[in-house]
Structure 1
Amino acid sequence: MPTPLTSSDVTSVNFTSINTIDSLLAGKRWVNPSISYSFPDRESWWSTDENFGYGAQSGTGEPWQIETTWLTSNDQVNFERALQQWANVANVTFNKIIETANEVGDIRVAYTKDPDELTLAWSYLPGSSVRSGDIWANTLGLLNIQDWNPGTISFETILHEIGHALGLKHPFYNSDKPDAATLPTSLDSITSTLMSYTYKDLEGVEGNEFSFHPTTPMVLDIAAIQYIYGANTSLYSGNDTHHYSDTGVYHETLWDPSGIDTILYSGAAPTYIDLNPAHGSFIGQPVFVQSNGVNVGKPVPNLWIAEGAIIENAVAGTGNDILIGNGIANSLDGNLGIDTVLISGNLTQYTINKTANLSYAVVENNNATNQDQLSNIERLTFSDAKLALDLDGRAGWVAKLLGAVFGASFVSNQEYVGIGLVEADRLEYQQLADYALSAKGFTDYEKLVTTLWANLFGNMPPEAEKSFYIGMLENHEISTGNLAIIAAESAANLQNINLIGLTESGVAYI
């Protein structure tokens, strides 16, 4: 147990030759993963050692400055929340110590002054100095003004400083250690690691903060801290459901190491859920990079899944959502809306089978364990093909109207199907029928009736039948759109377009 004059034991951390991990390793860690912390006060003791402590009380060491002060009760609560975020992912525990003349925490946190107001906080890496693990917030900086609530830059800063106290370094170039591993520019961002200084979106648009800051260690932080201390395998050990809504604001990385787990989204706003580890999703309220308080660039992914975490299932909301599986057996439920599943790979690499209630099983031919169960999914997109699966809904409208108005062969015209789907997703059935008739360019009732009949039965209509339908149109007993729908829904048309066959495998479109 550390005292004001001694620190806990540390040991060296070997490098991995994996850049994304090595670029965050400072080289030392606490030997004991049960790490203590404490909140100093005016009665606390500090080392005056010039080399391993804070120097003489007459000097400029942090505790001796007149501005040095102590955390508020609210600061302490949020600091402990930040500690818990690291404990959630790594095999470490944090134990609170009440400071005495003979006992302090491995991590001590307090306020002191740095003349540069842009300096938010600083900390000391694990080592032989009694300063090791200590964290200081700047009394002239934002942390002394803003509550350290999750989602603020203050909470993110505390997460960052705890990362240092545990043995993580900055991922960018350090002239004092020119040979240390660094991240490539594409990954040197707070979206990837809290230890970065760079706020930017996926396209590289930079700012100086986020509209909502990360509330957990991010993907690369988790990989590095788990390499150092091991993973927390007891968190979410069952079959867990992680709830998100369109009213919530999120910026986090999810670590769930076991069980059959689900991301459940409730809300009407469109969302994008990617179950692949180290991939980002867009969920809830959008999060932006900001420059001096103004949103810049595009929204950043705000929900990530850590490497080594496996989330099997996703349930979307009532909007038009996009879902992506992760290479194992997934259950993907689009709920309401026009929902799309994206699959990396060509259509020929997969087999599609219709199951009950217009649900589908998509199986990778060379990997039987990669079998996705799709429910309430209207669109299926492969690298080389797109399929519409909602033959009981809007895709069915399109196929049936193409058969009745243009002829059954046009159901195989992927461009026509694609145009029809675009319109169907914004129109009601009769409006879509009117659109199809307008696109066909009918100029009189006789041509309309003759064409519909010929497309259904392959011959010209008997004079009596033709006159009957023309009379109904002329007397406004039926609209042209309604007549097209009657033809589209007829048994003859459904057989012509092979609606049952289309329902089994979907209709292709571009």
Structure 2
Amino acid sequence: MAFLSSIIIEPTNDPIIDVLVDGYVWDLTSSRTITWALADGLNPEHVWLDRDAALMTFGAALASIEQYIDVTFDYLGDFASPIPAGLAGADIVYTLDNAVVEDGTLAYAYYPGPEPFTDFEQYATEGGDVFMNFSAEIIASSSFQPGSDGFVTVIHEIGHALGLKHPFEGSPGRPTLDELDQSVFRDMDWFSIMSYSDQYEDELERWDPATPMVLDVLGLQFMYGVNTATNAGDTTLRLASEDYYYTIWDASGTDRADASDQSQGWTIFLPDFQPTTLVETLTGFALPSAQFAGTLVDSAPTEMIWLMGDIENATGSQFNDWINGNRFDNDLVGGGGDDELEGYGGNDVIDGGAGTDLAYFLGSNTSFTLTIGADGITMQDRRADGSGTDTLRNIELIEFYGETGADRDVLDLRQFGGPANLSGADLESFVELYIAYFNRAPDAQGLNFWGTAFANGTSLQEMASLFVGQPETLATYAEGLSNEDFATAVYGNVLGRVADQGGFDFWVNALNSGGIGRDFFILGVLEGAKAAPASDATQEFIDQQLADRDYLATKTDIGALYAVHRGMSDVNNAIQVMSLFDGSAESAANAVAAVNDLYAAALDPETGAFLMPLVGVLDNPFDAIA
């Protein structure tokens, strides 16, 4: 008799398990080994013509299953028929039955046995045995190479021999796949080797599964446990282009799905979906992007790789890839091409590589803080259940999107990421422009925009000229304002005082004569306040200049606190905090307190604001909340 018996597992009420597990399972409580044998058929005329090929095919099929489950398949030997094979202890026998021709049967197999399943037709150890019908043309002509109809037939029948049922056949308490959510899985061979449905039925030598598919792996792991040795440790998992579907299982370690050898762009979803609570295995997938129709069930791939287990990292091709992380800390590398990447949960490193690359973030931008610094750019999701804090490298575009894919908001980092390597003095000069032209603190996005323009070669003088024509400048200095009134307003905004008569006359005459424009005048006032006094300057002049310098510096520090250190961008709030400062120490403290209050509100992950702080360029002179 066979060494192993079977046990019955009742329906679990978990549809993903019950759709494939029919209840009969090998009892492996005493041993994790299932023995198998090769045998000629019961009819003396049914003999293997190429025994070596048969052994190789069945051994390869068992190996394709063994990598996922806690089972060792042990070859027992070659027998004249399945009866002596079973009596010798073979649990699964690979044998022949060429009698059925007309009904189209390619092969058949029996559930695990012999106890408690006893509904055998021919002999007592028939449970678990696999019969091939070489009278069927498809079987007779098959190469039995991975991806062929012959090979998938073999692993399909082994699925039965291990306890899997057809997904299109129900039984009490066990649904059909068509009764489940069709937006997730379909009754198709690349979801389960136990399916009869094939999108490419005329392709007999390719575009079929070469291993168990996602539903099969889950069902088998539920019955027999997981193989903890497959890809244990840190593994690079090459995503190879094959003319068949296959499943990569990774048991442990820090691993990388690598599509860098591909000759076209790929879509990669690292495992993050747990289809059933009864098996902890996470599921993802990878396939050529040209074959992905937005959802798997709407696709018809000729290449398809299921990714199952704990796979943390991914590398794309040299073409346009779509790479999606998971709940772990991911390292995602786009490679060449214009890639789209998303980290999801965890603290991820997202590196677009070459090309124009886009990073996605789920949620309104008001839940995020984008920190720009010389050491890199990070994106923090401030929500407790959000996507963590991601480090961005070689990312040109950021897109925030809603749950439904709507409410999209795109940020071009090429316009905002430049100030990190500027000097503090340069950055302060941009803050001063906002004070002089708009009489407010900068907004972080605007400040970073102009800082990037400066880093890319726009001079301060060119920036001043561009500021003059801004609508906000025209609103601050009303149309038709005389040069006298304009000069008075600038002195008030920049220095907080009325101009001295000599300086006032000099600048107004220059403006009236057309010798300078208003943009140069504003720069001149800013530069004059910071310039060293002449050697023959009076003490009164020196004292005034020191007071001017201190006034402008404090106003600049308030502006930097708001936009640089806190990264806020609400223009109305920027006006409010600057209006609180009148030159006194008390007013400076009030302005700082107002900034900190606004910042505390802006940090709220649900009702706050998008923040864009810049770190490592300016010191913060205020003792403020972090």
SS in 1 for 2:332: strand
Higher Rg:
2
Q: Counterpart of 1:283 in structure 2: which amino acid?
A: L
Offset at residue 345 of structure 1 (A)? 2.7
Give how far 1:181 is off.
2.6
Once the two structures are TM-superposed, the CA of residue 273 in structure 1 deviates from its matched residue by 0.8
**Residue identity matched to 2:410:** L
Task: Give deviations 1:310-362, integer Å, cap 9, x for gaps.
Answer: 21111112111111111232111112221112457313444444466755445
CA RMSD of aligned residues (A): 4.3
> Which residue does 1:383 correspond to in 2?
401
Higher normalized helix content (fraction of residues): 2
Provide the rounded CA distance (Å) in 2 between the counterparts of 1:354 and 1:393. Answer: 9
Alpha-carbon distance between aligned partners in 2 of 1:72 and 1:96, rounded to the nearest angstrom: 14
The answer to whether residue 370 in structure 2 is matched with residue 366 in structure 1 is no
TM-score (structure 1 length as normaliser): 0.64
Conserved? CA contact 1:251–1:303, under 8 Å: yes
- Residue aligning to 1:231: 226
1:308-457 alignment, distance < 5 Å: 309-342=309-342, 345-347=362-364, 348-354=366-372, 360-363=378-381, 365-367=383-385, 370-384=388-402, 385-388=408-411, 391=414, 455=466
Q: Would you say the 8 A contact 1:362–1:372 is kept in 2?
A: yes
One-letter amino acid of the structure 2 residue matched with residue 134 of structure 1: D
Question: How far apart, in 2, do the equivalents of 1:66 and 1:364 lie?
Answer: 73
SS in 1 for 2:42: helix
Q: Which residue of 1 aligns with 2:59?
A: 80
Partner of 1:428: none
Q: CA deviation at 1:269?
A: 1.3
Decide whether the 8 Å contact of 2:109 with 2:161 is kept in 1. Answer: yes
The AA in structure 2 aligned to 1:142 is I
Alignment pair present for 1:258 and 2:252: yes
Residues paired across the two proteins, number: 388
Equivalents in 1 of 2:394, 2:58: separation in Å? 43
Shift of 1:93: 0.7
- Taking structure 1 as reference, are residues 337 and 222 closer, same or farther at Cα in structure 2, changes over 3 Å only? same
- Partner SS state of residue 85, structure 1: helix
Q: Deviations over 1:120-174 (max 9, x none)?
A: 2211111224111111121123222112111222222211111111111111135
Partner secondary structure for residue 391 of structure 1? helix
36 and 149 in structure 1: CA distance in 2 versus 1, 3 angstrom threshold: same
Q: Is 1:198 matched with 2:197?
A: yes
Stretch of structure 1 that moved more, 217-226 or 277-286: 277-286
Relative to structure 1, the CA distance from residue 280 to residue 260 in structure 2 (aligned partners, 3 Å threshold; closer, same or farther) is: closer
**Which residue matches 1:430?**
none
Secondary structure of 1:39's partner?
strand
Aligned partners of 2:162, 2:177: CA distance in 1, in Å?
19
The answer to whether the 8 A contact 1:339-1:376 is kept is no
Deviation string, structure 1 residues 250-293 (Cα, Å, up to 9, x no partner): 5222221211111111135111111134555443597799xxxx
Once the two structures are TM-superposed, the CA of residue 242 in structure 1 deviates from its matched residue by: 0.5
- The answer as to 2:32 corresponding to 1:38 is no
Distance in 1 separating the partners of 2:47 and 2:292: 35
- Residue 244 of structure 1 is matched in structure 2 by 239
The structure 1 residue matched to 2:268, chosen from 273, 295, 304, is 273
Whole-angstrom CA distance in 2 between matches of 1:300 and 1:107: 32
Q: In the alignment, is the contact (CA less than 8 A) between 1:70 and 1:110 conserved in 2?
A: no
Q: Post-superposition shift, 1:23?
A: 1.5
What is the CA distance between 1:302 and its match in structure 2?
1.1
Residue aligning to 2:301: 299
Structure 1 Cα separation of the partners of residues 257 and 133 of structure 2: 39
Structure 2 CA distance for aligned equivalents of residues 79 and 131 of structure 1: 17
Q: 1:220 to 1:362 in 2, by over 3 A?
A: farther
Structure 1: tracts of 5 or more residues without a match: 42-61, 201-205, 290-295, 397-411, 414-450, 466-497
Residue in 2 aligned with 1:120? 106
Letter in 2 for 1:458: G
Partner SS, residue 254 of structure 1: strand
Mapping of 1:128-207 within 5 angstroms? Answer: 128=114, 129-139=124-134, 140-174=136-170, 177=171, 180-184=174-178, 186=182, 187=185, 188-200=187-199
Deviation at 1:91, TM superposition (A): 0.8
Secondary structure class of the residue paired with 1:162: helix
Q: Distance in 1 between matches of 2:465 and 2:374?
A: 35
User: Does residue 300 of structure 2 align to residue 283 of structure 1?
Assistant: no
Corresponding position: 1:14 with 2:18: no
Distance 1:214 1:276 in 2: 19
How far apart, in 2, do the equivalents of 1:353 and 1:182 lie?
Answer: 50
